[in-house]
Amino acid sequence: MISTAAPNESAKQTWSGIYTTRARAARAGLFVLVALVPSVLVLLPTLTFVANSFFVVDNGEIVKTFTLSNYATFFRDAEYWNVFINTLWLCFQVALASLILAYPIAWFIWRLPERYRYGLLFLIILPLFMSYVVKLFAIRSILGLDGFLNQFLVFTGFIDRPYMAFLFSRNAIIAAQTIMFLPYMVLPIFLNLERIPPSLIQASSDLGASAGTTFRHIVLPLSLPGVAGGLVFVFIMSLGDYITPQMVGGMTGHTFGRVVWSQFGVTYDWPLGAAFGVVLVLICTTLVAGVGLLSRQRRI
Amino acid sequence: MERRTFLKASLSGGLLLAAPYIARASANELRIQTWEGYTEPEWLKPFEEKHNVVCRVAFTTSDDDLFTKALASKGADFDVFALNTSLVPRYVKAGLYQPLDRKKLPNYENLAPVFHDNPLTFVDGEVRSLPFAWGSNPLIYDQNYFKTPPESWGVLWDPKLNQQVMMVDDSISAISMTALYLGFEDPFNLNSDQYDAIKKKLIEQKKVLLTYYAGFADGVSLFAQNSVKAMYSMGEPQVKSLKDKGVNAALTIPKEKATGWLDGWMLSPGCRNVELAYAWFDACLAKDTGKSMTTKLGYGNTTDLAANQAAGLTYADKLVWYRMTDDLPLRTKLWNEVKNA
Amino acid sequence: MRAAVIADPRTDTSRGTHPDTGPVFMRASSGERGDRTGSAGENCLLLRAISKTYGGEHALHPTDLEVKNGEFLTILGPSGSGKTTILRLVGGFARASSGRIVLDGEDITELPSSKRPCNTVFQDYALFPHKTAADNVGYGLMVRGIPAQKTAAKVSEALRFVGLEGMARKYPSQLSGGQQQRVALARSLICAPRVLLLDEPLSALDADMRRQMQHFLKRIQKEIRTTFIFVTHDQEEAITLSDRIAVMNQGRLEQLGTPSEIYYRPATHFVATFLGDNNIMEATVLTNGALSLPVGPVERPVFHGQGAQAFWAAIRPERISLPKEPVSGSINIPAKVVDVAFSGALTTLRISPIDTPDHTFMVKLTSCRGTEEFTTGSSVLAAFDPADLSFFPRKPS
């Protein structure tokens, strides 16, 4: 029995081997087909961009000779460094403020009965459908000297005349960006909370933990990937957004994004702008990779 | 350059889509490449009827696009084109122009003195461009606060107006205006000492500024919402927008002068029907055309001073026309440094 | 605060190698709750007319249940029968719609789950994925503020007890299903619950591991004498493990009894068919007190529930024999074999009585010499002792 079965067995294996090899090749081919368009549309411009960062502008024309001078400019010039560090710090503050505001919201929505949960979540996400500029103007008209907030505070007697500090300050940037990017923080945290099996919460309570203890030891640690995701989202969005600081930050609204922009829109020094852009992208990538590594180490 | 684009864009209601058109060799056709607003039916239609031709109009979206397009086809894509006269040297250097013969343009004499021999358009005895429309970057102020118009750009540095004055977030505007304020003769050709002085002055200004505003509409809404008393303006139409919002705004050209933009027509080296092109130029220099444009669009015209007068555009001679600068990167860097200070 | 697990050091010497023979003795301390901890046989948990409705639908009709101290009680029933609802009500994960829950004389109906001296082993184990096995097991002690050193000692005892001494630093994702099960058990038991609630804890395991864990659970329960309430839909598991079984159906308690009572003396049609195979016949009470079955009369029936007019009678397939000659005192039925199925130790036949061919019977014989003689179509004589019949009420048709 065994001796007759063996050749059959091996024949079958060979066949299945051939089959899987073919299937794998077919799948790879399909992948290449599917990935071709996005690669060409995304990768190619990015590569051009990166290539640009190694060129130099002479007399308004881009000269295609390899040079690191654009990067040297960035690292040599304290002016750029200052803006850069300052911008990173601002983005970090925005991300942190968003977290502080968004976590309770996400938690609250998560605790709601299911029939209200998604309705409220939708309300939170609704502003994402609104134009960015419209939101910005709305926020500014609320915070402005003749705006709603000042009028309200004067009306209620908290202040006796309109107060300028709501707008055109670092805090105004943080407030405006926090409000605008809030959904990007609420969403990942909420989705993460939803992924926590209810039995874990019950188990914690069952083992004698109060609601607070359960939150500290179970819910919070298990929601950290969502928190990390949200932080990365908001940080990167804040890093890329030079309009909001410009529009509500007043004298403090100068960010690295604006510096990059000015190389493109005003100076036509694309290589220098590209080099700055590459530095930004590298920072973002490092950040995402770092967060990914951290959460893997924590097994969450 | 940016504010020019912005101005046109806001006036044209965002319809600035350069319509691709098929070039067709035709004796009865004039191909016009222009900013929107310079081929209004008021003067285009009569021209077409009079000469029994069809005008094919393509709108320019940006200075750079225009130059790229001209460079790519050596000017063969259009017969005539409108551009900011500050860029004329760029086209001349690239050979993308034909000098004009003023003898073939009876209406050339309609040009007001300030435009007649303008150094931007009339160079080395050559007429390179025909001045057609103009505007300025005046000082806009709140008439409820200023009983008489402020005389100097110095109001934008006045500590008494702390947090009540605004500047535009644009290196060329800010540096040029400050150069004028500091009395430097040529704001588009500065030496390093002058740059240092300008930088110092601009950093000093940050103490009193409410904010830098980002664009035409942004400046208007900020002015209206925050009880701003005075600002550097991106152009005359901001006054009208402010008045629409109920602000008692007015403009003035301070004693140090202000910058101005001047657009003109040029003859493309690829022009297929030079006679027709001259006919179009002459039609544009007709007083009626100037009057129609000023009345309809609010731009200053170069021929009908009465119409300018009626629109309050009486200060063409107090303007310093924009010109190209070769130190854009330096200006950008300086501006970034100012904002980061 | 509940007393913590005490591991008896005496057993250290006899530490076994097989995980199932982990010898550490674990029992609830008689410390603080000693006065209220009843001795074996007394009632520990009382459910008084407890019910649960969801949106007007009864998940559990008002039900009484008494759980004895130290017993292994299984709540058995199909899905949707209300068995898990009872567990959730006792564990404090659902609020009772009516009725009271009394544990050791104390009404715990309104207590939150964190304050109840019960612990639950969840169906999905509910291990905390971000904590090691040791931290999972020590969680109950940690939240009670017991010093880390003391906790650590108890945790390693508990892990040894469930046979996982080397696994303390592993995360749940690094453990097999059976190992996770043991961690969950240790985590609950370390809190020294008065009642341990187990919600279908073996349903996710493969057959081998399942059998192994059944033995393990049974042995542990014997050792520590903690009251276990075990929920399952697997009747074989229920019979193997339990001291008593509560059979649930459609939100009602159908029968409560020992496994053999449940098996041989089912109180309802549902119980008779849910546990194992059964031959069920209509039975009618005759005027002389005898019963009439389709296959013949029964002179002196042994049944409870007098007063009912209509009954079901049930006979287990393994209680029917196929003798060569009629057996006196038994009901003898001449029949034909309809179907034979050989499944190793057992041979299952389906026979059709000559007189009432529609009333087929299932017969289970221990396979032995002679069993293979029965083939489809062969004539046989079936016999069973009327004493082996069980009766339960039937709505008259």
Write out chain C residues lying below 8 Å of A200, CB-based: 126, 128
Share of chain C above pLDDT 70, in %: 86
Interface partners of chain A (CB pairs < 8 Å, 3 or more) are: B, C
| Chain B nearest-CA residue for A74 | B333
Flag whether pLDDT at C371 surpasses 90: no
CATH code of the domain made up of C277-393: 2.40.50.140
Residues B225, A145: C-beta atoms closer than 8 Å: yes
CA distances (Å), B18 to each of A255, B6, B31, in order?
A: 33, 16, 13
Q: Which residues contact C388 (CB under 8 A, 6 or more apart)?
A: C264, C315, C316, C319
| Chain A nearest-CA residue for B209 | A251
Q: How far is C292 from chain A (nearest CA, A)?
A: 53
C-alpha triplet C303, C308, C309: angle, nearest 5°: 105
Mean pLDDT on C14-38: 37
CB C68 within 8 A of CB C41: yes
Q: How far is A289 from chain C (nearest CA, A)?
A: 21
Share of chain B above pLDDT 90, in %: 73
The C-alpha atoms of residue C194 and residue C117 are separated, in whole angstroms, by: 6
pLDDT at C95: 92
Work out the angle between the directed axes of helices A270-297 and A78-111 (0-180°, nearest 10): 40
Flag whether pLDDT at C1 surpasses 60: no
ipTM value, please give it.
0.79
Domain-embedded: residue A58: no
User: Which of B172, B226, B340 is nearest residue A254 as measured by Cβ atoms?
Assistant: B340
Residues A221, C130: C-beta atoms closer than 8 Å: yes
Mean pLDDT on A274-289: 88
Q: What does pTM read for this prediction?
A: 0.76
pLDDT at C40: 55
C232 vs A: CB within 8 A: no
Mean pLDDT on A265-269: 73
Residues B169 and B201 in one domain: yes
Residues C139, A209: C-beta atoms closer than 8 Å: yes
Closest CA to A148 of B300, C259, B225: B225
Share of chain A above pLDDT 90, in %: 36
CA distances (Å), B13 to each of B7, B8, B16, B18, B219, in order?
A: 10, 8, 8, 14, 18
Write out chain C residues lying below 8 Å of A218, CB-based: 128
A259 vs B: CB within 8 A: yes
User: Which of C112, C119, C130 is nearest residue A207 as measured by Cβ atoms?
Assistant: C119
The C-alpha atoms of residue C184 and residue C204 are separated, in whole angstroms, by: 14
Residues A204, C128: C-beta atoms closer than 8 Å: yes
C287 vs A: CB within 8 A: no
Domain-embedded: residue A116: yes
Residues A263 and A213 in one domain: yes
Residues A174 and A87 in one domain: yes
Phi, psi for C260 (deg, rounded to 5): -75, -35
CATH class of C2-264: alpha beta
Side chain identity, residue C325: E
CATH number of B140's domain: 3.40.190.10
Q: How far is A86 from chain B (nearest CA, A)?
A: 10
Instruction: Name the burial class of residue A1, with classes exposed (0-12), middle (13-18) and buried (19+) by CB atoms within 10 angstroms of its CB.
Output: exposed
pLDDT at B209: 93
Select from B1, B167, B332, B335 the residue whose CB has the most chain A CBs within 10 Å, as the one to mutate to test that interface: B332
Model pLDDT for residues B170-198, shown as the tens digit of each residue = 899 999 999 999 999 899 999 999 999 99
pLDDT at A9: 45
Residues B184 and B144 in one domain: yes
The C-alpha atoms of residue C134 and residue C155 are separated, in whole angstroms, by: 6
pLDDT at B83: 94
Flag whether pLDDT at C267 surpasses 80: yes
Residues A269, B329: C-beta atoms closer than 8 Å: yes
Residues B332, A82: C-beta atoms closer than 8 Å: no
Mean pLDDT on A96-121: 93
Flag whether pLDDT at A4 surpasses 70: no
Q: Identify the weakest region by mean pLDDT among B107-116, C111-120, C169-178, C293-302.
A: C293-302
Residues A158 and A216 in one domain: yes
Residues B339, A140: C-beta atoms closer than 8 Å: no
pLDDT at A298: 63
pLDDT at A192: 94
Mean pLDDT on A163-177: 85
Write out chain C residues lying below 8 Å of A213, CB-based: 143
Mean pLDDT on A38-52: 86
Residues A12 and A84 in one domain: no
| Chain B nearest-CA residue for A133 | B218
Residues A46 and A75 in one domain: no
Residues B253 and B163 in one domain: yes
Residues A148 and A253 in one domain: yes
CB C293 within 8 A of CB C313: yes
A218 vs C: CB within 8 A: yes
pLDDT at A11: 46
C218: left (phi over 0), alpha (psi -120 to 50) or beta: alpha
The C-alpha atoms of residue C43 and residue C69 are separated, in whole angstroms, by: 5
pLDDT at C108: 94
- At residue C80, the 3 state secondary structure works out as coil
User: Which of A57, A246, A254 is nearest residue B214 as measured by Cβ atoms?
Assistant: A246
CB C378 within 8 A of CB C295: no
Mean pLDDT on A172-199: 93
User: Which of B2, B209, B224 is nearest residue A251 as measured by Cβ atoms?
Assistant: B209
Residues A95 and A191 in one domain: yes
pLDDT at B231: 97
A202 vs C: CB within 8 A: yes
Select from A247, A259, A260, A276 the residue whose CB has the most chain B CBs within 10 Å, as the one to mutate to test that interface: A247
CB C339 within 8 A of CB C305: no
The C-alpha atoms of residue C261 and residue C253 are separated, in whole angstroms, by: 15
Residues A160 and A204 in one domain: yes
pLDDT at A8: 46
- Domain coverage including residue A216: 65-299
Q: Which two tokens stand for residue A245?
A: 């600081």
Select from A115, A205, A207 the residue whose CB has the most chain C CBs within 10 Å, as the one to mutate to test that interface: A207
* Predicted confidence band of residue C301 (pLDDT cuts 50, 70, 90): low
pLDDT at A275: 92
Mean pLDDT on A281-290: 86
Residues B336, A79: C-beta atoms closer than 8 Å: yes
CATH number of A202's domain: 1.10.3720.10
pLDDT at C31: 37
Residues A185 and A37 in one domain: no
Model pLDDT for residues C36-80, shown as the tens digit of each residue = 444 555 788 999 999 999 888 899 999 999 999 999 999 999 988
The C-alpha atoms of residue B61 and residue B58 are separated, in whole angstroms, by: 10
Residues B171, A266: C-beta atoms closer than 8 Å: yes
* Predicted confidence band of residue A15 (pLDDT cuts 50, 70, 90): low
Domain-embedded: residue A161: yes
Q: How far is A20 from chain C (nearest CA, A)?
A: 29
A212 vs C: CB within 8 A: no
Q: How far is A92 from chain C (nearest CA, A)?
A: 27
How many domains does chain B contain in total? 2
Residues A200, C126: C-beta atoms closer than 8 Å: yes
* Predicted confidence band of residue A37 (pLDDT cuts 50, 70, 90): confident
Write out chain C residues lying below 8 Å of A209, CB-based: 114, 139, 143
CB B98 within 8 A of CB B78: no
Write out chain C residues lying below 8 Å of A228, CB-based: none
Q: Which two tokens stand for residue A141?
A: 């008209």
Chains C and B share 3 or more Cβ pairs within 8 Å? no
User: Which of A202, A221, A298 is nearest residue C126 as measured by Cβ atoms?
Assistant: A202
pLDDT at A234: 94
User: Which of C92, C124, C140 is nearest residue A199 as measured by Cβ atoms?
Assistant: C124
How many domains does chain A contain in total? 2
Closest CA to B140 of B148, B130, B131, B150: B150
Instruction: Report, as ranges of residue numbers, the positions in chain B whose pLDDT lies below 50.
Output: 1-25
Calculate the average pLDDT of chain C: 84
Residues A42 and A138 in one domain: no
Residues A45 and A73 in one domain: no
Flag whether pLDDT at A141 surpasses 90: no
- Domain coverage including residue B212: 136-258+322-340
Select from A206, A210, A215 the residue whose CB has the most chain C CBs within 10 Å, as the one to mutate to test that interface: A206
Size of interface A-C (CB pairs under 8 A): 72
Mean pLDDT on C119-129: 93
Residues A204, C92: C-beta atoms closer than 8 Å: no
Write the DSSP string, C167-207: GTT--GGGS-HHHHHHHHHHHHHTT--SEEEEESTTTTS-H
Residues A243, B214: C-beta atoms closer than 8 Å: yes
Q: How far is A129 from chain B (nearest CA, A)?
A: 21
pLDDT at C363: 94
Beta strands in chain A (DSSP E): 56-58, 61-63
Residues A250, B227: C-beta atoms closer than 8 Å: no
Residues B27 and B168 in one domain: no
User: Which of C91, C122, C140 is nearest residue A208 as measured by Cβ atoms?
Assistant: C140
Flag whether pLDDT at C391 surpasses 70: yes
| Chain A nearest-CA residue for C188 | A207
Domain-embedded: residue A60: no
Domain-embedded: residue A263: yes
Model pLDDT for residues A204-223, shown as the tens digit of each residue = 999 999 999 999 999 999 99
Residues C191, A208: C-beta atoms closer than 8 Å: yes
Q: How far is B2 from chain A (nearest CA, A)?
A: 8
CA distances (Å), C234 to each of B216, C75, C237, C239, C244, in order?
A: 76, 10, 5, 9, 14
List chain C domain ranges: 2-264, 277-393
Flag whether pLDDT at C257 surpasses 90: yes
pLDDT at B23: 41
pLDDT at C130: 92
Q: How far is B176 from chain A (nearest CA, A)?
A: 14
pLDDT at A164: 67
- At residue B248, the 3 state secondary structure works out as coil
The C-alpha atoms of residue B168 and residue B340 are separated, in whole angstroms, by: 15
Interface partners of chain C (CB pairs < 8 Å, 3 or more) are: A
Residues A101 and A42 in one domain: no
